[in-house]
Amino acid sequence: MAPTQTRSWILANKPEKSVELDEKSSNATFKQKKSEIPTLKENQVLIKTLLLSNDPAQRGWIQKDQDPDRLYVPPVNEGDVMRARGIGRVIQTKSDKFKEGDLVTANTNWSQYAVLGDDSVQKINEIPGVPISVYLGIAGLTGLTAYYGLIEVVRTTNKDSVVVVSGAAGATGSVVLQLAKNVLGVKKVIGIAGGKEKCDLVKSLGADIALDYKSDTFKQDLIDATPDYVDVYYDNVGGEILDLLLTRIKKHGRVAACGAIAGYNDREKGVIKNWFEVISNRIEIRGFIVIDFINKASEIVPKLVQYVKEGKIKLEGSETIVDAIGDEGFDQIPKIWHKLYEGGNTGKLVTKLE
Amino acid sequence: MAPTQTRSWILANKPEKSVELDEKSSNATFKQKKSEIPTLKENQVLIKTLLLSNDPAQRGWIQKDQDPDRLYVPPVNEGDVMRARGIGRVIQTKSDKFKEGDLVTANTNWSQYAVLGDDSVQKINEIPGVPISVYLGIAGLTGLTAYYGLIEVVRTTNKDSVVVVSGAAGATGSVVLQLAKNVLGVKKVIGIAGGKEKCDLVKSLGADIALDYKSDTFKQDLIDATPDYVDVYYDNVGGEILDLLLTRIKKHGRVAACGAIAGYNDREKGVIKNWFEVISNRIEIRGFIVIDFINKASEIVPKLVQYVKEGKIKLEGSETIVDAIGDEGFDQIPKIWHKLYEGGNTGKLVTKLE
């Protein structure tokens, strides 16, 4: 029988600095609510959420006091269900584009069930042997982000001899380093990650060098690893690591500015001091957002899936799936998401509701 | 009779933060010396310095504790004569490329007389009616810097409707705004400068709007002046003004990073906090140094001179010439140069020795 109610997490208070995860706090960032599921209208579908995507950029959507003009997507407003990509199953349909049982990807948000117009839902053509979480990661926006930034935005080829990627054990970074090493054939690929476990993963994915930014010797390690400096830096973190990298980019080197997680919860940590390097070493920096590349998805995703089949991109280590099954599990959704900012995951962080 | 001695200013102590202009201080940045002029060898010329170029970048050449690998020219070392472009007259020659009386441009440095190899000296073909100081400014590296950054580096055309330039009353900025408005025909050109006098100059050179960064309302003035945001920002200053501009650049807008004078004497003032704008608004930033464009000088300088003749670039306001004639004048060279960082000049700051 079709469900009549859904639980959701709404954005209760936009955070200025840290996210307040305690739902009982007067300043709680998120609060739960229960609501009736509306009756479907024409061209709508009812989706049951199976998996939720956790993405560093979500922090930006909820930041207090932002000019909506300057955001690449509308902000999430207080009172709205927290926005998130998800994978779900169509369980009711008034659309002739979808039938019951279809596997889809959409902004299901932090809800057990979502009613959506059929033009905001994409059908997933399941490939036997490929776990469905891959459509949030390597074969989803994450993989596209890696490809777009590295290959289109800063035009990396095997003529570049040194590529550095930060957040290298993360969702995007782990794909970037494999594309650079195993697909493009860049001579030296250096991955930056936090802690031994993540650095081991980075090495196992094919990086020539893994550098631990939590190490006391990180700065010197980076200098030692880049005697000939760096052609391309794919930046997932911003802040101090970006600032340090600016001192190691080659003359006329390029920076793909993908993320700035260092500053998401604390602007002070996102500060850049070595700006003069940009001038004296003629550095090219390009910020980018994958949605500008979304019309190439149908062309690029099959390539990425092919790289997976050829073993050039590994599924092992490409995701961390955290169970949030059942009613108690649902309570954990914000805490699981927040692991992104605690450095707790390797690869794509996925929340599994069923 | 040919001179046998020359006075020079040497770099005595590299500054960490502020320049110490008091020659008697134990920490004096510069000190004078008197030395014998060596006898000319084959292919050398003896030049009498007439004019010295004052350039913000000189501050970078003397900064303490810099990695020479990361500088676009070698640093000036303690004990060396302070490096500077100059215009001079050949007064003795053992080169068949130059004859006595030739007007030349070279690194004469802060010296009354300089002995130089003929391959580091360029002859100036004087144009009647054009004052020789122009070869340090509009028809020199300054004009080339403006042209290169605006037109080659960030590809500005009349398809761009809003161009902002900082340091707009300065040497490079004043040429940039005239190129944008009077040569390219950009619809709205906004110049940023400090104080009413400079803003008046900026308007008189053709800027549609002049904004005074020293005004209490500067931030709001900039917002009001850019309701449709900014296509191209030509940045001569870095620091807070750059940081603020990052919040006003259009999606996919471009920044030409030419100078960072804000941070030259105090790194803390050069800090960038709004990095996330680079990502969310897909900003392209390109640092550049005019020496990469020097092989185009013979093609571009005549264009710039032509713009001057057509009145598209005005000589009025394009330079501030400060007398440093005679022995007492020579004492003033460091103090005149330092006006660059005190916001004291409009247009190209030139020191006149004779």
Q: Do B272 and A277 touch (CB under 8 A)?
A: no
List the strands of the sheet with A230-235, edge to edge: A209-212, A188-193, A162-166, A230-235, A249-257, A284-287, B284-287, B249-257, B230-235, B162-166, B188-193, B209-212
Of A71, A282, A287, the CB nearest to B282: A287
Which pLDDT belongs to residue B265?
A: 67
Q: Which two tokens stand for residue A1?
A: 């029988």
Which pLDDT belongs to residue A1?
A: 67
Which pLDDT belongs to residue B270?
A: 79
Q: Do B271 and A267 touch (CB under 8 A)?
A: no
**How many Å apart are CA B266 and CA B272, to the nearest integer?**
13
CB count, 10 Å around CB of B63?
18
Locus of tokens 């927040």: A338
Locus of tokens 């959704």: A333
Which pLDDT belongs to residue B1?
A: 67
Q: Do B278 and A287 touch (CB under 8 A)?
A: yes
Chain length of chain B? 354
Which residues fall within 8 angstroms of residue A53, CB to CB, at 6 or more apart?
Answer: A84, A85, A86, A136, A140, A141, A348, A350
Q: Say how far residue A117 (Cα) sits from the centre of its chain.
A: 25
Q: Determine the residue of chain A that is closest to B279 in CA distance.
A: A287
Å from A232 to nearest chain B CA? 14
Per-residue burial over A42-76, b = 16 or more CB atoms within 10 Å of its CB, e = otherwise:
eebbbbbbbbbbbbbbbbbbbbeeeeeebebeebb
Phi-psi group of A195: left, alpha or beta (phi > 0 → left; psi -120 to 50 → alpha; rest → beta): left
Query: Which among B187, B236, B183, B228 has a CA at the least distance from the CA of B209?
Result: B187
Residue pLDDT tens, chain A, 354 long: 689 999 999 999 999 989 999 999 999 999 999 999 999 999 999 999 999 999 988 998 999 988 888 888 899 999 999 999 999 999 999 999 999 999 999 999 999 999 999 999 999 988 787 889 999 999 999 999 999 999 999 999 999 999 999 999 999 999 999 999 999 999 999 999 999 999 999 999 999 999 999 999 999 999 999 999 999 999 999 999 999 999 999 999 999 999 987 776 676 777 899 999 999 999 999 999 999 998 999 899 999 989 998 999 998 888 899 999 998 999 999 999 999 988 778 889 999 999
Cβ contacts (< 8 Å) between B278 and chain A: which residues? 257, 285, 287
What class, spelled out in words, does domain A5-137+318-352 have in CATH?
alpha beta
Q: Do A282 and B273 touch (CB under 8 A)?
A: no
Which residues fall within 8 angstroms of residue A302, CB to CB, at 6 or more apart?
Answer: none
Which residues fall within 8 angstroms of residue A236, CB to CB, at 6 or more apart?
Answer: A56, A165, A166, A167, A170, A172, A173, A258, A259, A261
List the single best residue of B261, B273, B286 to mutate versus A (max A Cβ within 10 A): B286
Alpha carbon distance, N-terminus to C-terminus of chain B: 17
Of B258, B275, B285, the CB nearest to A238: B275
**% helix / strand / coil in chain B, to the nearest 5?**
30, 25, 40
Q: Do A271 and B271 touch (CB under 8 A)?
A: yes
Which pLDDT belongs to residue A335?
A: 97
CA distances from B319 to A42, A158, B67, B123 (A): 70, 48, 33, 22
CA distances from B229 to A107, B245, B258 (A): 30, 9, 21
Query: Which among B264, B285, B293, B253 has a CA at the least distance from the CA of B143?
Result: B293
Contact of B281 with A287, CB cutoff 8 Å: yes
Q: Do A67 and B281 touch (CB under 8 A)?
A: no
**How many Å apart are CA A166 and CA B319, to the nearest integer?**
46
Cβ contacts (< 8 Å) between A292 and chain B: which residues? 282
CA distances from B10 to B14, B37, B85, B322, B330 (A): 11, 15, 15, 20, 13
**How many Å apart are CA A217 and CA A212, to the nearest integer?**
9
Residue type, A341: Y
Q: Determine the residue of chain B that is closest to A258 in CA distance.
A: B279
Of B258, B280, B286, the CB nearest to A70: B280
Cβ contacts (< 8 Å) between B280 and chain A: which residues? 60, 70-72, 287, 289
**How many Å apart are CA A195 and CA A214, to the nearest integer?**
6
Contact of B50 with B88, CB cutoff 8 Å: yes
Contact of A302 with A332, CB cutoff 8 Å: no
CB count, 10 Å around CB of B267?
18
Residue pLDDT tens, chain B, 354 long: 689 999 999 999 999 989 999 999 999 999 999 999 999 999 999 999 999 999 988 998 999 988 888 888 899 999 999 999 999 999 999 999 999 999 999 999 999 999 999 999 999 988 787 889 999 999 999 999 999 999 999 999 999 999 999 999 999 999 999 999 999 999 999 999 999 999 999 999 999 999 999 999 999 999 999 999 999 999 999 999 999 999 999 999 999 999 987 776 676 777 899 999 999 999 999 999 999 998 999 899 999 989 998 999 998 888 899 999 998 999 999 999 999 988 778 889 999 999
Q: In this structure, are strands B5-11 and B284-287 parallel, antiparallel, or unpaired? A: unpaired
Of B72, B271, B287, the CB nearest to A273: B271
Phi-psi group of B343: left, alpha or beta (phi > 0 → left; psi -120 to 50 → alpha; rest → beta): left
Partners of B180 in beta bridges? none
Of B279, B281, B292, the CB nearest to A260: B279
Q: Which two tokens stand for residue A85?
A: 């990509």
Q: Do A292 and B283 touch (CB under 8 A)?
A: no
Contact of B232 with B256, CB cutoff 8 Å: yes
Burial environment of residue B74 by CB neighbours within 10 A (0 to 12, 13 to 18, 19 or more): exposed
Å from A279 to nearest chain B CA? 4
Burial environment of residue B16 by CB neighbours within 10 A (0 to 12, 13 to 18, 19 or more): exposed
What class, spelled out in words, does domain B5-136+318-352 have in CATH?
alpha beta
Query: Which among A172, A166, A177, A169 has a CA at the least distance from the CA of A244?
Result: A166
Locus of tokens 């004492």: B331
* Extents of the domains making up chain A: 5-137+318-352, 141-291
What class, spelled out in words, does domain A141-291 have in CATH?
alpha beta
**How many Å apart are CA B270 and CA B261, to the nearest integer?**
8
